[in-house]
Amino acid sequence: MWTIAGLIAIAGICAALEWPLLKGSRRDLWTFGLLLLAGLGVGVAEALHARLPNPLDFVAAVFEPMGEGMRDFFDIRG
């Protein structure tokens, strides 16, 4: 509970410090806000011990068939 409150407080401080600097550019403000909320969401999920997927699992799932295809194409034993 205190961890989540701390995360929200830190995100609020970051937003308060960066908001005046980004006021002129709407795109930068939206990008900052979305990334801050995404990071806050991941932080809260981690604080609640939720199972989060590992991004490298996705990368391995995408590139493993390519590696097998290259291994078969070049007839590499391994």
Checking if the pLDDT of 68 tops 90, the result is no
Helix (H), strand (E) at residue 9? helix 2-22
CA atoms within 13 A on the CB side of 17: 7
- How far apart are alpha carbons 44 and 54 in whole angstroms? 16
Q: Each residue of 6-55: pLDDT tens digit?
A: 999 999 999 999 998 888 889 999 999 999 999 999 999 999 999 988 88
- How far apart are alpha carbons 32 and 45 in whole angstroms? 20
- Rounded to two decimals, what is the model's pTM? 0.69
Cα 26 from chain centroid?
22
C-beta neighbour count of 11 within 10 angstroms: 16
- Ordered by start, the domain boundaries in the chain are 2-74
Confidence of residue 77 (pLDDT cuts 50, 70, 90): low
